[in-house]
Chains A and B, each alone.
Chain A
Amino acid sequence: MKFDPAEFLNFTFTWRDVLIGAIVTTLLMAVVAQIIGVLLGLIAALAGRSRNPLVKAISVIYVWFFRGTPVLVQIYLLYFGLPYLLGIDPFPKQYGSLPELIGGGFVAVTLALGVNEGAYMSEIIRAGILSVDSGQAEAAKSLGMTPRKTMQRIVLPQALRVIVPPLGNEFNNMIKTTSLASVVGVTELVLLAQNRYGATFQPFEPLLGICVFYLAMTTIWGIIQGRIERRLGAGTRSEDVPGFWSRMTGAGRGRQGDTGGVR
């Protein structure tokens, strides 16, 4: 048996600056990219409903391009392509006095992941808006609300119930997709493991080690997501929100349930 438990435990549970840095980098990239994605997605979803054909076309092309090409290629396009096009490097190793952690690679990957995510979020938000009964917008308009107020106060809050579960999935994915940052030299978890086995020639132990961290992050997120969904579910039946185990494993999900009466 080749597995070296001492190496696994040593890699995983010895708290050291590079490990903490890699975890922070991973989480920070995921959170910032997801926030960018939600904002861009909201803008693209609303633009897609615009009466202006140009605005609508921009939204359609954006979603088409970023959902239709690999995110790894998008990272390369941004990281290598932008300096090439601009003639200056917007992604240097370090930005002035900012910590080294937030260097050019970090910024490029976070931007690319965020812009890519926006295309998916746009579809999710669009579906959420469509899920709200058209009578809701009509009632709001009949009370004298402008389209903007109607969207802000009436439609979007109700769309949230449909948007949040897939948004949670997207963030779960995002935590793991940050691993692509390793290809442009960002020291997140995967590069941390690679650096280790580059020196020890024992790849299995550190790779298993970073799985522990990914699992810890996604599990904690799963718990948070459940709490958020339960809070949004005010006025609906609590059985509709999956419990912890079914969320983690997928067991018992996708059941055709009662949709909960007239809304």
Chain B
Amino acid sequence: MTGHIHGTDVDVSRDLLGAIGGVPTPPTDMVVDATDVNKWFGKLHVLRDVTLTVKRKEVVVVLGPSGSGKTTFIRCVNHLEKIQSGRIFVNGHLIGYRDVNGKLVEDKEANIARQRQEIGMVFQRFNLFPHKTALENIIEAPIQVRGTPKDEAIEMGRALLTRVGLAVKEQSYPSQLSGGQQQRVAIARALAMKPALMLFDEPTSALDPEMIGEVLEVMKELAREGMTMIVVTHEMGFAKEVADRVVMMDEGVVVEEGTPEHFFTNPTHERTKSFLSKIL
């Protein structure tokens, strides 16, 4: 299909996940199960008893002012940040730690790496590998981590690039691509690992306005096809249209959570009301 929201004319194919052999099925019905997560940066208490669950095929959008802890929280979900207490289970595994008599002991790097293979992440600043072409960015992890044969990885990488509308850019280096194009390659790179869960950390915040649409279009297609996703964003249109559930965070606390209808028409908390009134 061709998306025209935000004025884009980028072709995003139906059946995006067909490129990786269909929707990866999370092994457990509860894909993310976080309970009472606490995190401090030094003296700063950035996550306070955060409890959040994400079910299979659910799209959860996390909103909140900057400094509310939303980015920190999703970085904890794949253990890019340590936590000091609480438990985060992803795909049925305690993430980043072993539970030794109720105490959190950091897991071995190899185990953490294995868990991360099932969790895709898209960053605000894309973080493509600048010394590799678009295609090489995508096939790197399948080959190096999953041991996928090179020709198979290339075939999958090309299919992914085609479906995010970048077939002609496979030999381009990141520095030769626009922000929107880089972010679409970054999404394709994460998908190439066939993750059961995708994390999006403000994926459009570093983009020029005219490029936001093309990235959102890819994300919407993923959601439609049944990818399980947590999305930290300021794009209210995306939240309204795509989210199954919206979570509002402020000062490290989950303030309110509910369906988009509830959230945008009838929020209960004062904090949510004032936040929404400022950005809508």
A interface, CB within 8 angstroms of B: 133, 135-136, 138-147, 149, 153-154, 157-158, 234-236, 260-263
Q: Is B84 an interface residue (CB 8 A)?
A: no
Tell me the complex Cα distance, A147–B196, Å.
Answer: 22
Q: Are B119 and A235 in contact (CB under 8 A)?
A: no
* CB contact between A141 and one of B80, B189, B193 (< 8 Å): that residue: B80
Q: Are A144 and B110 in contact (CB under 8 A)?
A: no
Q: Is B180 an interface residue (CB 8 A)?
A: no
Tell me the complex Cα distance, A141–B141, Å.
Answer: 10
Q: Are B123 and A139 in contact (CB under 8 A)?
A: yes
Q: Is B144 an interface residue (CB 8 A)?
A: yes
Closest chain B residue, CB of each to CB of A147: B109
Q: Are A144 and B113 in contact (CB under 8 A)?
A: yes
Closest chain A residue, CB of each to CB of B79: A141
Q: Are A141 and B129 in contact (CB under 8 A)?
A: no
Q: Are A145 and B113 in contact (CB under 8 A)?
A: yes
Chain A residues within an 8 Å CB radius of B119: 142
One digit per residue, 1 when the CB lies within 8 angstroms of any chain A CB and 0 when it does not, for chain B 151-181 equals 0000000000000000000000111100000
Closest chain B residue, CB of each to CB of A157: B131
* CB contact between B129 and one of A149, A154, A262 (< 8 Å): that residue: A154
Tell me the complex Cα distance, A87–B175, Å.
Answer: 60
Q: Are A144 and B127 in contact (CB under 8 A)?
A: no
Chain A residues within an 8 Å CB radius of B8: none
Instruction: Count residues on chain B whose CB falls below 8 Å from chain A CBs.
Output: 31
* CB contact between B121 and one of A142, A147, A235 (< 8 Å): that residue: A142
Tell me the complex Cα distance, A159–B93, Å.
Answer: 35
Do A145 and B131 form a contact, CB below 8 Å, given A135-B123, A135-B125, A235-B173?
A: no
Chain B residues within an 8 Å CB radius of A140: 129, 141
Chain A residues within an 8 Å CB radius of B120: 142
Chain A nearest CB, measured from B231 CB (Å):
15
Q: Are B129 and A139 in contact (CB under 8 A)?
A: yes
Closest chain A residue, CB of each to CB of B115: A144
Chain B residues within an 8 Å CB radius of A144: 113-114, 116-117, 141, 145-146, 193
Chain B residues within an 8 Å CB radius of A149: 144-145
Chain A residues within an 8 Å CB radius of B146: 144
Chain A residues within an 8 Å CB radius of B127: 133, 135-136, 138-139
Q: Is B140 an interface residue (CB 8 A)?
A: yes
Tell me the complex Cα distance, A261–B125, Å.
Answer: 13
Q: Are A146 and B109 in contact (CB under 8 A)?
A: yes
Chain B nearest CB, measured from A249 CB (Å):
31
Chain B nearest CB, measured from A38 CB (Å):
20
Q: Are B113 and A141 in contact (CB under 8 A)?
A: yes
Beyond A153-B144, A263-B174, 20 extra complex contacts between A and B, CB < 8 Å: A138-B123, A140-B141, A142-B78, A143-B145, A143-B189, A144-B113, A144-B116, A145-B141, A145-B145, A147-B109, A149-B145, A154-B129, A158-B131, A234-B131, A235-B130, A235-B131, A235-B173, A235-B175, A235-B176, A261-B175
Closest chain A residue, CB of each to CB of B179: A262
Chain A nearest CB, measured from B257 CB (Å):
25
Tell me the complex Cα distance, A147–B140, Å.
Answer: 15
One digit per residue, 1 when the CB lies within 8 angstroms of any chain A CB and 0 when it does not, for chain B 80-97 equals 100000000000000000
Chain B residues within an 8 Å CB radius of A139: 121, 123, 127-129, 186
Q: Is B211 an interface residue (CB 8 A)?
A: no
Chain A residues within an 8 Å CB radius of B123: 135, 138-139, 142
Chain A residues within an 8 Å CB radius of B128: 139
Closest chain A residue, CB of each to CB of B121: A142
